[in-house]
Amino acid sequence: MFKFFKKYTMTEPGPPSDIKEAFSKFSADGKYMSAHQLERFLVLHQDEVECTFPDSEQIVHNVLQLRKQNLESNSNEDHGDGDGLSLDEFFHFLFHDDFNNPLKSQVHHDMNAPLSHYFIYTGHNSYLTGNQLSSDCSDVPIIKALQEGVRVIELDLWPNSTKDDIDVVHGRTLTAPVSLLQCLKSINEYAFRKSQFPVVITLEDHLTPDLQAKVAEMITQVFGETLYYPHTDSLAEFPSPESMKGRILISTKPPKEYLKSKQTKDDEKELPVGVSSSPDLMAGMDADDKNVSDQEEADLNASEYKSSQQGAPQYKRLITIHAGKPKGQIKDHLNVDGDVKRLSLSEQELEKTSESHGNDLVRFTQKNILRVYPKGTRITSTNYKPHIGWTYGAQMVAFNMQGHGKSLWYMQGMFRANGGCGYVKKPEFLLPKDPHDETFDPKRQLPVQKTLKVKIYMGSGWSVDFSQTHFDTFSPPDFYAKVCIVGVPADQTKKRTKVIADNWFPVWDEEFEFPLTVPELALLRIEVREHDKHERDDFGGQTCLPISELGIGFRSVPLYDQEGEKLKSVKLLMRFQFE
């Protein structure tokens, strides 16, 4: 059987009419755009108000050097005479995401407010390499998360098989453990490679007091002066990210709560609010939500407590963010008076609580920290929609970072904001205000605050990053783009371009309008797919962008693969405007 393959002609399109018009407007003679003229374009058209003449002069130099290198093999093409940028060079500047990204690469939020005023990039079961039941535990996913800017790492601590050391493992599952010491050493090495802002380690503690004392010793020895802990037993307010730069903080339950729970003779397990102890429900829960087993309770008998309580003060002293899970009425745990604390709720608990105590949740998160974690039935490490937490001010929306899919894209998109440092300042309406002011209600229909206009001109790079037969064996791909808003329910919408048939360089030249009621919490999701008449459309790249951070004007938008890794060459030329 013979197979015939076409040789594809790949001709990259020239600049669209909107870019030709802008070039003509801002260049004096219509032939070259000088550094002064480029500065004027960047300030007036792109709203880059901080751009200076030396900045634009450097851009011109870099673009000309880059174009010269790229065109050296083709002596017939003109790359300018050094007086400025030609139309073709101006077009390539706009299409280069290193020069013309839609998001700022620097930290620009106020970082001097308490930690409770920020959304924080948070991992769940950070040590798991795959599913929640049988995958290996390792420091590798911890390292990867830190390299991607995650600032909250979760470790589940259990006694090892000989009860004389500590394993990090997902308890009561078939996951293979990794040593706590190895995890701590990797955190210490990689904590501040991506961001200098603090790393919080949340500990799910299933240890005896003796082993708690050993954990305290390990943490102190590994982190040294990098470890921050308060000099008092409690805090009236959390420290700021700026004041905690380069520091590691511990968050867990204080030991006295642990000991007290073990000394009770009640057989009732510690369950999420409103959940009974029926076997069926217990089977579907995350192991983190259950109390210790009968055997563990036997191990922790009264005589052991008396001989080991000396370990508790050492361990408790290291805790900066005191944590707990609610028992009894949830409203009792949303009290905003007293010292600050962290409360953990499952995604289901949050949904239920938001129905009856939405205002209390928002008020709680103005001062305290709320952590939301995936329900226990997400065995394959899938994730939930993060907006369920963000709209109520939850700072730590904990995700399975190995659980690839749209929900993780949203999380990655949110934390591309503020220079990708892992901390995003919450909108003003979620921050403390006059006690008599009305709190934000995500369910209330609000008026349109602004309209985002998105124009998608064209795309390129697939012919470099993918083989000629990746999308279709016998012809060039048929690309289309999805353009969606993810946010509060009133703002969510989906639109798509037409299909451009048989072209590695699709030119759509289409514009969409999105009215937004809460733009501060909205994300722009863009996904390119290759249309297939007979099978599922092939994936061609995606990105999520925080709308509150979008730069206006023409922008080069890089795309990412399904796991969130940036594609080397694939990008879109787009324009963003607000009305």
- Kindly report, residue by residue over 547-558, the tens digit of the pLDDT: 999 999 999 999
Measured distance CA(259)–CA(315) in Å, rounded: 13
Domain at 115-430: CATH architecture: Alpha-Beta Barrel (3.20)
Measured distance CA(542)–CA(530) in Å, rounded: 12
Three-state secondary structure string covering 510-578: EEEEEEECCHHHCEEEEEEEECCCCCCCEEEEEEEEEHHHCCCEEEEEEEECCCCCEEEEEEEEEEEEE
Tell me the catalytic residues.
124, 170
Element housing 425 (H / E): strand 423-425
Q: How far does Cα 182 stand from its chain's mean position? A: 25
Measured distance CA(410)–CA(387) in Å, rounded: 9
Please state whether beta strands 523-530 and 538-546 pair in parallel, antiparallel, or not at all (unpaired): antiparallel
Positive or negative torsion for Cα 289, 293, 298, 300: negative
Query: Which residue has tokens 């008076």?
Result: 337
Q: Determine the length of the chain.
A: 579
Residue 513 has pLDDT above 50, yes or no: yes
438 compared with 458, residue with greater pLDDT: 458
The string of pLDDT tens digits covering residues 11-41 is 889 999 999 999 999 998 889 999 999 999 9
CB distance 461 to 569 below 8 Å:
yes
Measured distance CA(186)–CA(144) in Å, rounded: 10
Query: Which residue has tokens 């709560």?
Result: 257
Burial bucket for residue 5 (CB in 10 Å: 0-12, 13-18, 19+): exposed
Q: Is 280 left (phi over 0), alpha (psi -120 to 50) or beta?
A: alpha
CB distance 321 to 371 below 8 Å:
no
280 compared with 415, residue with greater pLDDT: 415
The string of pLDDT tens digits covering residues 443-462 is 888 999 999 999 999 999 99
Percent of the chain with pLDDT over 90: 77
Q: In the chain, where are the structural domains located? A: 10-94, 115-430, 447-579
Mean pLDDT of 401-424: 97
- In 3D space, the residue among 325, 395, 321 whose CA is nearest the CA of residue 364 turns out to be 395
Percent of the chain with pLDDT over 70: 87
Mean pLDDT of 406-418: 98
Positive or negative torsion for Cα 26, 573, 408, 248: negative
Which tokens is 303 given? Answer: 């005589």
Mean pLDDT of 254-275: 46
Q: Which CATH superfamily is domain 447-579 in?
A: C2 domain (2.60.40.150)
End-to-end CA distance of the chain: 59
Measured distance CA(350)–CA(103) in Å, rounded: 31
Burial bucket for residue 555 (CB in 10 Å: 0-12, 13-18, 19+): buried
Coil, helix or strand at residue 179:
strand
Confidence bin at 308 (pLDDT 50/70/90) = very low
pLDDT, position 337: 86
**Secondary structure tally for the chain: helices H, strands E:** 17, 19
Work out the mean pLDDT of the chain and round it to a whole number.
Answer: 88
Confidence bin at 292 (pLDDT 50/70/90) = very low
Measured distance CA(125)–CA(373) in Å, rounded: 10
Domain at 10-94: CATH architecture: Orthogonal Bundle (1.10)
Confidence bin at 288 (pLDDT 50/70/90) = very low
- A 10 A CB-CB count for 443 gives 11
Residue 180 has pLDDT above 90, yes or no: yes
CB distance 125 to 154 below 8 Å:
yes
Confidence bin at 67 (pLDDT 50/70/90) = confident
Residue 111 has pLDDT above 60, yes or no: yes
Residue 522 has pLDDT above 60, yes or no: yes
Residue 102 has pLDDT above 50, yes or no: yes
pLDDT, position 260: 52
Mean pLDDT of 147-154: 98
Measured distance CA(570)–CA(553) in Å, rounded: 20
Residue 501 has pLDDT above 70, yes or no: yes
Strands (E) across 177-228 are located at 178-179, 199-205
